[in-house]
Amino acid sequence: MKKNSTTKLLMISNTSSSFDHLVYLVRDAFPNASIIKSSTIPTGFELIATEDPDAILLVSDIAGIDAFETCRQLKTDGRTEALPMILLTTDTITHNIRTRAFEAGGAYHHQ
């Protein structure tokens, strides 16, 4: 994603506190980004079709879904396979979590 161009980022999370915090971080790094929010996977899939995002941010603690499996599904869909997928988790970062994220087709970064 380019810092000075308009980028559409779809954020999928079920908690408003996650949205608030993530929007702040994204706006700091990408001030021109257009942020699209979804609190459910089905709505997220609808927004992918209508909004054509440049990247997708999945929060892995979304109730009732597995962000790793969602990422896997998106990576096998011709419309979304090339999109960058960023997976976030509140779990303690382990080798297993990083491996699952990469195997699902996501990008994972922890500082």
**pLDDT of the chain along its 111 residues, tens only?**
545 468 899 988 776 666 777 788 788 877 888 999 888 888 988 999 999 999 988 876 655 557 777 888 888 888 888 898 887 766 556 556 666 666 666 665 443
pLDDT of residue 53: 93
Q: For residue 81, count CB atoms less than 10 angstroms from its CB and return exposed for 0-12, middle for 13-18, buried for 19 or more.
A: exposed
38 phi and psi, to 5 degrees?
A: -140, 135
Stated pTM of the model: 0.72
CA dihedral 70, 89, 55, 33 (to 10 degrees): 140
Please tell me the distance from the alpha carbon of residue 20 to that of residue 42, in angstroms, as a whole number.
21
